[in-house]
Amino acid sequence: MSATIALQLAFWTPLTGALLIAFNGRHPAVREALTIITAILLFASLAVLAPAVFDGARPGLMMAEPLPGLSLQLTVEPLGLLFALLASLLWIVTSVYSVGYMRARQETNLTRFYTCFALSLWTAMGMALAGNLLTLFVFYELLTLSTYPLVTHSGSEQARRSGRLYLGLLLAPSLGFLLFALIWTWQLAGTLDFVEGGSLRGTASPALLGILFALYAFGISKAALMPLHRWLPAAMVAPTPVSALLHAVAVVKGGVFFLLKVTLYVFGIDLVAELQATQWLLYVAAATILLASLVALSKDNLKARLAYSTISQLGYIVLGTFLATSSGIIGSTLHMVMHAFGKITLFFCAGAILLATQKTAVSQMHGVGRNMPFTMSAFLIGSLCIIGLPPAGGVWSKWFLMLATLEAGHQALLVVLMASSLLSALYLLTVPLRGFFYPSPADMAGKGIREAPLACLLAIGLTASGCVGLFFYADSLYAIARLLTPGDGHG
């Protein structure tokens, strides 16, 4: 199969899937089957693309030219493909999980749910495969819109209020700052294409370029840099599969992916490293890491705690990007994947606990590990991956990120990273600790094992083994991340 056909397939599969689900939604089994088949097809077509792309091929696809000289086009490059593979692989797992979860919760409006889910994945693919900034921006906005019905799925007053916050904090910065930055870039560089090494060098004074870079950093509020992070905790009113795949993987990773693309292919890492503004932004990222960790520690609701943990971990990725060194980029890229596996596992577990015991607060976790040993063990593994302890993949990404702080001469940032890792150990490990070692409350004691539905357990098992697998097989990921900054040390 030629690369272009595979690309066409990868791009159109989720959209076709969404339409099929929308029109065949009457039967639960049909829409669930359609979701899983779509996810598998998507992953397969991306996998077909992979070898050639990692070897240096750059298949592309031209769709339309809405503005003269500015087209909607797709181009596959390693970073985007990695993001696409990650999202689509985890979509398969999430689909399996959804089947168990949504049935057990007896949720309604499932046709809308599965349709919007597929649509969100389509827009995420559009972002991952985007061939220029305009396309990336268009799909970035569409991702916000297509996830909105998922966030407000329950239709309750709280969902509506959270939905407003979600939409406001994602759309407002993107239309106010990001679009402005985009047009400004177009004005300065005359192109919105992704150029190896960046297209902005020398087009304006460093001070102006610094402002432009800050506009990107805050305009892309999906990366949840403080103070524009409030949408992410708000999004937690959504059903667990949405929080797991979209708000731990597709949406937030879409944000940091956008930032990585801008850093690598619009500014170029050399330019980013020189800008004065970057030094300030580094401290914003560092503050986000620390503050979000502290807030996470104070949250008793498990999903809220995980959400703030996500904000903190996104800060790591953003920090690595802003450090703009080869190891920083490698660390960021690796952490994109490691955190995805770790956090999706944690969300799956939180959902499973909710299903089996109706418990949502950390303070209620006493003894849950006795009733749900499998789920709690998976939670432990996911936590290790986030904290960065062996035998989980998170070690490697944190390793490179810490290395990058030293390379760039920011010892203070190293301290921040280590402190935050300690904090994350504190706020995450509390859960299995209470689950396994605290006595069960009277009503649950001695009830034996009561786990979530099998489909959920299967998904949890897969992602948890993914966390461990990444520890042992991180070298291929490293090889991909290396492709992003050719010509720098680390040979």
Binding footprint of other proteins on the chain (CB under 8 A) = 64-68, 72, 134, 137-138, 141-142, 145, 152, 155, 160, 163-164, 167-168, 171-172, 175-176, 179-180, 183-184, 186-187
Q: Which is nearer to other proteins, 94 or 162 (CB)?
A: 162
| Per-residue H/E/C for 400-412 | HHHHHHHHCCCHH
Q: In terms of Cα–Cα distance, which of 288, 275, 272, 283 is closest to 321?
A: 272
Q: Which is nearer to other proteins, 131 or 351 (CB)?
A: 131
Q: In terms of Cα–Cα distance, which of 325, 360, 218 is closest to 277?
A: 218
Contact partners, residue 333, CB within 8 Å, separation at least 6:
79, 82, 260, 477, 480, 481, 484
Give min distance, CB of 176 to other proteins, in A: 5
CA distance 310 to 318: 12
Q: Which is nearer to other proteins, 172 or 415 (CB)?
A: 172
Q: In terms of Cα–Cα distance, which of 79, 479, 91, 380 is closest to 249?
A: 91
Q: Which is nearer to other proteins, 186 or 438 (CB)?
A: 186
Task: Taking the CA atoms of 132, 134, 139 and 140 in sequence, report the sign of the dihedral they define.
Answer: positive
Give min distance, CB of 258 to other proteins, in A: 14
Q: Which is nearer to other proteins, 137 or 218 (CB)?
A: 137
Give min distance, CB of 65 to other proteins, in A: 7
Q: Which is nearer to other proteins, 153 or 339 (CB)?
A: 153
Give min distance, CB of 242 to other proteins, in A: 17
Give min distance, CB of 192 to other proteins, in A: 11
Give min distance, CB of 134 to other proteins, in A: 8
Q: What string of DSSP letters covers 99-148?
A: HHHHHHHT-S-HHHHHHHHHHHHHHHHHHHHBSBHHHHHHHHHHHHHHHH
Q: Which is nearer to other proteins, 12 or 478 (CB)?
A: 12
- Measured CA angle at 88 (ends 245, 420), to 5 deg: 45
Owner of token pair 């050639």: 52
Give min distance, CB of 474 to other proteins, in A: 37
Q: In terms of Cα–Cα distance, which of 124, 118, 123, 147 is closest to 17?
A: 118
- Quote the tokens at residue 180: 């402005």
Give min distance, CB of 283 to other proteins, in A: 25
Q: Cβ(367)–Cβ(444) under 8 Å?
A: yes
- Quote the tokens at residue 200: 């902005």
Q: Which is nearer to other proteins, 160 or 447 (CB)?
A: 160
